[in-house]
Structure 1
Amino acid sequence: MSQPTPVLSGFAFTESPRWREDRLWFSDFYQDQVFSATEDGSDIRVEATVDQQPSGLGWLPDGRMLIVSMRDARILRREPDGKLSVHADLGGRMQGHANDMVVDADGRAWVGSFGFDLMGGAPLAPAALYRVDPDGGVTEAATDLWFPNGMVITPDRVLLVNETFGNRVTAFDIGEDGQLRNRRVWAEFGDLPTEREFAGLVTQLVVSGDGACLDAEGGLWIADAIGARLLRVTEGGTVTDEIRPGTNVYACALGGAQRRTLFACTAPDFFEEARRPVREAAIMALPVTVPGL
């Protein structure tokens, strides 16, 4: 497999890439903006400005975009005129920042949280996963997740959740009522870490799954935030492909005209103090054999 090549550069910290309407959409945490661009990286547009730091992206059935506003734990909705309104307020429920999100075909959104003050150096603590219904109602959907992060929904309505600090991917069946059932480990890479301080924790991580995307054969591409690599994993934890882009990688998406381009969000690290003042983040791309859904 060929090595990734940069298609977009000059960003602070790119995250949450999504392919939609023949464009790659993504957040830049530390420029406080959501962008989109064509497959080759041209025609870059600013799609939204989120003062409290944008993260996960998704779309309602009517095409309006949802954006996670991290610092104030809100889900924003972009109206047809481009203005942002509050779709849901999760403030007071979450510990630490709101984080990534996936939205299903019915407009239900699942949103993860840090669970602790990562940037402030607090010790690791478990976090909850929240469901936001189309009317903006909020329900705690699952608990005791170790930094729930990148999520996908399979065609048979299984929610897969990367637990960044848990060495695993956890699966839930999504009921017709939106309830999560039959919790199980979909892929396990190592033991659950026992260290709670970040410096010790990272030494116990085998795979630190950050962002993820699903291909047409059920393979889950995972950005390994600690291992500086992209992994394609199948149910049970088998790694079928490994790509090392030469820098840290934090999220990925399958897109392009044939859905056979793997886009990867890269940066030297994720720390705000280091990333916000510089523009060293990029999005790389490489062709893959199995297309995205």
Structure 2
Amino acid sequence: METYTAERLAQGFSWTECPRWHADRFHFSDMYNRRVVSLTENGEAETIADVSGREPLDGAELVPAGTGHLPDGRLLVNSMFEKVVLVVENGRAEVYADLRDLAAGPINDMVVTASGRAYVTQLGFDLWKGEEPAPSPIIIVEPGGAARIAAGTEHLMGANGVAVTADGGRLVTAEAFANKVTSFDIAGDGELSNHRLFAELDELPDGMCLDAEGAAWVAFPISGRVTRFAEGGEILGQVTIPQAEAGSSTACVLGGADRRTLYVACGFEVYDFAKSREGGQGSIWQARVGVSGGASRP
């Protein structure tokens, strides 16, 4: 098993989530500061999307989570508690897909394919209100915003981090409340089939990504590590992050010019939005690893 130690790239954020590499740039969601932030190689931050000025639907809290890019370069952002996918254009965030009739609870992560089809995960219940975990199907959002439940995913327990293989043929997701990683085949029309176990886990997973060899990198918020799994469950590698400094490891992505830099989003306070903003303990860590992300998404 290969082992790596991460180093801190930047800090001073709220709860960091959903790291991405797109168009030679790394970015992530600074959730409770209501923005999407990019970082340079030196850790200099730039806000690339700010949704704080938006009037939320139904009086919901504005919290950006999963992001992705359409083929024309426009940014999509999940607004968790509004249960809508926003599209950001010329600095304005507008509703791209309304998922309120499809989502049982706050929506979460997202992956966008080369064709512009998005797969959105959801919790299935309101974690912040202390509700009990419930099944949470994946939602498919077609180019243009038409949305539907992915048939055969109704049983998923907290599908969280989500990724698509380089050939666009498979979708892999971390089921947070089932302690496992699950895989599906993707049909030409976007539907998912052939549900199967990718890896059995020993604790709750959060965000994840894939690499060029088809392995899954999974972030574990409780133990503060990122582990690389082969399909079938064999542990291939592990990245350690000092929990005393970083807190929970929430999600990861492979980026950099050769996509061999593993970026890890970390934070200390997920339940109290104001405390998270005021504390500014959210951070991004990075480690150079031995395999590239290739053309996998995100």
One fold, TM greater than 0.5? yes
Q: Which amino acid aligns with 1:216?
A: A
Determine the structure 2 residue equivalent to 1:258: 258
Deviation sequence 1:112-171 (CA, Å, 0-9, x none): 111111111111111111000002101100211111110110124100011011111111
CA distance in 1: counterparts of 2:149 and 2:114, whole angstroms: 20
**How far is 1:48 from its partner?**
1.1
- Of the three residues 158, 163, 175, the one matched with 2:175 is 163
**Residues in 2 aligned to 1:116 and 1:133: alpha-carbon distance in whole angstroms:** 24
Deviation at 1:265, TM superposition (A): 0.6
Aligned to 1:18: 20
**1:231 to 2:227 alignment:** yes
- Other-structure match for 2:92: 83
- Tell me the C-alpha RMSD between the 2 structures: 1.3
Output the CA distance in 2 between the equivalents of 1:259 and 1:177: 29
Secondary structure, counterpart of 1:119 in structure 2 = helix
Shift of 1:2: 4.1
CA distance in 2, matches of 1:269, 1:31: 13
Q: Unpaired runs of 5+ in structure 1?
A: 190-205
Contact 1:109 1:132 in 2 (8 A): yes
Mapped to 2, the partners of 1:54 and 1:168 lie a distance apart of 25
SS at match of 1:143: coil
Contact 2:211-2:292 within 8 A present in 1 as well: yes
The code of the aligned residue for 2:207 comes to G
More divergent stretch after superposition (93-102 vs 262-271): 262-271
Kept in 2: contact 1:77–1:84 (CA 8 A)? yes
Distance across 1 between alignment mates of 2:206 and 2:281: 19
How do 1:114-129 and structure 2 match up within 5 A?
A: 114-129=123-138
TM (normalized to structure 1)? 0.90
Equivalent-residue separation in structure 2 for 1:261 and 1:3 (angstroms): 12
Q: CA deviation at 1:236?
A: 0.4
CA–CA separation in structure 2 for the residues paired with 1:90 and 1:272: 25
Residue 289 of structure 1: aligned partner:
290
Letter in 2 for 1:30: Y
Q: 1: CA distance between counterparts of 2:106 and 2:77?
A: 14
Alignment-mate amino acid for residue 16 of structure 2: T
- Structure 2 unmatched runs, 5+: 53-61
Partner-residue secondary structure (3-state), 1:91: coil
Identity of aligned residues (%): 41
* Counterpart selection for 1:154 from 154, 161, 165: 165
2:146, 2:266 → 1: CA distance?
A: 34
Contact 2:205 2:221 in 1 (8 A): yes
The equivalent residue for 2:51 is 50
Partner of 1:219: 215
- Aligned partner of 2:58 in structure 1 is none
Normalization by structure 2: what TM-score?
A: 0.89
Match of 1:200 in 2: none
Partner Cα separation in structure 1 for residue 4 and residue 135 of structure 2: 38
Segments of 4+ in structure 1 off by > 4 A?
none
